[in-house]
Chain A
Amino acid sequence: DAKTTQPPSMDCAEGRAANLPCNHSTISGNEYVYWYRQIHSQGPQYIIHGLKNNETNEMASLIITEDRKSSTLILPHATLRDTAVYYCIVSPNAGKSTFGDGTTLTVKP
């Protein structure tokens, strides 16, 4: 699997958009970008995934650059409950995922 790079931590004001970047410059053509988050003391939660087109669901939006070397997860209106560790993972659709250190997002009132 390709390696990803994420900032270790970010802050966001409640109600504002949270934009979490991920660099995956060695991504292969058959690899998808997946995002998960882990709220303290819980199992990770799947958020969204994409190949090359931008994707949106009820939780978030995923913006993937045209060269696919980076992506951004957008939480449009962050709440305090969105405080969590966010993991960006690149995988060729094999099911198992290699987790990096992720980004700790803290949403502040």
Chain B
Amino acid sequence: SAVISQKPSRDICQRGTSLTIQCQVDSQVTMMFWYRQQPGQSLTLIATANQGSEATYESGFVIDKFPISRPNLTFSTLTVSNMSPEDSSIYLCSVARGNRYEQYFGPGTRLTVT
């Protein structure tokens, strides 16, 4: 398994500002992922962040809006830029490990944009 922490756990932000979410893992992992979960919805993958390479974004998500850093094998950040109320969601990071790359998730960051 993996122990994953996220900061902040929740935040309330004003429209037009940016928030950076941190994800820390207790041991080195190659593959990290960022997901978004809008209220009452399932999880949607934003991007894959592998150390040493640029993040790979899913359809509908762009780097200018969701820049990601992956400076080492235990840490990643996701920035939600120029926020609008539609960005109000839970943002989760996850890592893939194990013999078949099962995923382990952080507790999530609950973001409310007013």
Total A residues in contact with B, Cβ cutoff 8 Å? 21
> Are B33 and A96 closer than 8 Å at their CB atoms?
yes
Q: Indicate if B92 sits at the interface (CB-CB under 8 A).
A: yes
Chain B, 91-114, CB within 8 A of any chain A CB = 92, 94, 96, 100-108
> Are A95 and B42 closer than 8 Å at their CB atoms?
no
Q: How far is the CA of A60 from the CA of B44 in the complex (A)?
A: 25
Q: A95-B33, A99-B43 are in contact. Are A43 and B100 (CB under 8 A)?
A: no
Which among A42, A44, A87, A94 has the highest number of chain B CB atoms within 10 Å? A44
Q: Indicate if B48 sits at the interface (CB-CB under 8 A).
A: yes
Q: A44-B43, A98-B45, A102-B42 are in contact. Are A93 and B105 (CB under 8 A)?
A: no
- The main secondary structure of chain B at its interface with chain A is strand
Total B residues in contact with A, Cβ cutoff 8 Å? 22
Q: Indicate if B31 sits at the interface (CB-CB under 8 A).
A: yes
Chain A, 74-109, CB within 8 A of any chain B CB = 87, 93-102
Chain A, 56-70, CB within 8 A of any chain B CB = none
Interface string of B36-63 (1 = CB under 8 A from A): 0000001111001000000000000000
B contact residues around A93 at 8 Å (CB) = 100-101
Q: How far is the CA of A86 from the CA of B45 in the complex (A)?
A: 17
A contact residues around B94 at 8 Å (CB) = 43-44
Q: A95-B96, A99-B43, A101-B42 are in contact. Are A34 and B102 (CB under 8 A)?
A: yes
Interface string of A45-63 (1 = CB under 8 A from B): 1100100000000000000
CB contact between B100 and one of A32, A36, A42, A45 (< 8 Å): that residue:
A32
Which among A34, A97, A100, A101 has the highest number of chain B CB atoms within 10 Å? A97
> Are A95 and B107 closer than 8 Å at their CB atoms?
no
> Are B105 and A99 closer than 8 Å at their CB atoms?
no
CB contact between A96 and one of B42, B45, B92, B107 (< 8 Å): that residue:
B45
Closest 5 CB pairs of A and B: A43-B105, A95-B96, A99-B43, A95-B101, A95-B31
Using CB atoms and an 8 Å cutoff, list the residues of chain B in contact with chain A. Answer: 1, 4, 31, 33, 35, 42-45, 48, 92, 94, 96, 100-108
